[in-house]
Every structure is written in C-alpha cells, then in structure tokens.
Structure 1
C-alpha cells in the first residue's frame, strides 16, 4: 500500500515538473518574441556600420530605430586601431531602405533610460547597400561631462563675483529705491 502511494506521489511530482518546464518554455518564447529578436533580422536583414567618437552606455543588442520604431539592433562594437573610433555594426530589417546620406546618432530613452542608435534618413535617391557605412554620425553625450562643465562654470562665476563685486554690480542702480508699501489695514470688526 505504501508503495502505491509513493508511486502516485512520484508521478504527480514528474507531472508537476513537466508542467512547470512547459510554462517556462512558453515564457521564454514570449519574451524572445517581445524583445524583437524574432523580427527576422538574421535572415534577409542588412548589415550597416557607423563610426563614432564615443558610444558611452551603448551595448550590443541595443535598438536601432527610425522615428522611434525599432528596425534592428547593434550586433557588434569594436575599436578601429588606426583611428581609435568606435565602430558599430548594426543589423536592420531587409525591407528598410536607408538613403546613403542618412545620419546615425546615439540617443537615450530619457534621463535615466538606455541608449540606442537613431537613424535619421537623408534625402538621397541612392540607398546604402548591405555592408554599407553611415558616414554622418553624432556621438553619445555624456551626462556626467555636461554636469561637470555646468558645476565648473557656476563655480568659476561665483569666484569671479567674489573677487570683483564692483564689476558685477548693475551699471545703473535705481535712483530712488521703492518704498516699503504700507501694511494692509485690519478688517472692520463685526458687531
């Protein structure tokens, strides 16, 4: 009797494990479908490259977008040993025709969002071929660098104000400073 109970329990455990694995596989398929990896970018896609001074915060797998719509992803990043520029290789959908005078810029999804490559189509009649290079690029803007410059300029401005207070005073101070307005009268008491 005890053996039958154990057999039923082990079959129940095997069945439960199989259901858990099936649900996990469904979640994996769903996640891959939602991430854009199933856009068919590998087959029939097109590869483009672009060179940037800086690609701070951009990682392989980052989106490539036109007008905010994902059309591909970054598949490789490396340094050109001669120019020391960052070279990105991007895989985009094969049905997207990118004019040869288009530009690429590294942008972020908001103040704390991730980075992506934004393609801005040009007006040329000729399109980039598979393996083509986007020549016009704008590198990533470093938030830390901008903040550092702002703090430095404010500190420098304050230091100049403390050294030369006369130079920073208004050129024509008002002749008669405004008088203090009279205090408002108290409301009349109600009987």
Structure 2
C-alpha cells in the first residue's frame, strides 16, 4: 500500500486486540483543527461513524521531518510519492532489469516512477462505474498506469458483474484480478 496506514485509529479498542484483555494502547488523536477541519471529505464517511481525517492513518498533528518541521496533515499525500522513485531505483539495481512500482499512495507526477492502484473497492456496479472516473482523473494527474481490483475486493461478486468488469478491465492500463 505504501501509505501510512494505521487501522483502528481513534477506537477505544484496536480491532486486533484480544476481547478478554483491556487494551493498554490505542492511537487516539486529540481534537484539533487538522484532524477535525470544518469540512468533511466524502472519503471518511461511513467508516463506523468516525468522521475524522485520521481514520485509518496517523494523527494529522503528528510531526514529521528531520526537525519535526511538518505536520502529517501537510505531507500525508506526499508519503507514497516520496517512496516511488527510490523503490523503482532499488528494484532495478537489485535485479539489473527494468522494474515496475504500483502504489496506492500517489501524487501528481508519481507517474514518472510508479503506477496507481485505485485501492480496495467493493464488488458493486457503482464501484465499476467509479473506476472509470478514477482512470480518467489519474491520467490528468500525470499517472497513466492505473487500475482497480477487477470484480472488486470486498464482498462477493456476481457472475454478471465480474464478466462486465473483466471486459472493462481489458481497457485498464493496469489489471489486478
């Protein structure tokens, strides 16, 4: 995924903590203007009622940089971008061959060193349609190598949906089945 993923952020009990034990840690982000801005992006809705930017990632007030000069809020979207080129160079140096990096965490110009995977999607007709939008958008961001999980990642797909997704997937520049 090459992104700062922290599942269970802001929950009383982390998802992987044994039920019969009291958790002695949980990443809970303080209420602040970065984790709780006046707007709520659509991407955080419907995740168990937790509508904070820090859902499934680090607290936005987390400090980063050699001298803690950045808030995670300011650099979150640059995380994968900063890893793509070094990963590609290391891959090619290790194998002596041309390599390929596919990331879920990208930023405009990431296409020079990586492709983009649209992320975990649901097996639904709506997600199939949205994948087309994602392909077009990421092309505009300078990332021409893009794809989604064909037939979906979450839930079971139907034969009709999977067949249609395979047909559409033939036009993805990156196919992930």
Larger fraction in strand: 1
- Is the radius of gyration larger for structure 1 or structure 2? 1
- The TM-score bracket by the shorter chain reads under 0.3
Relative contact order higher in (CA < 8 Å, ≥ 6 apart): 1
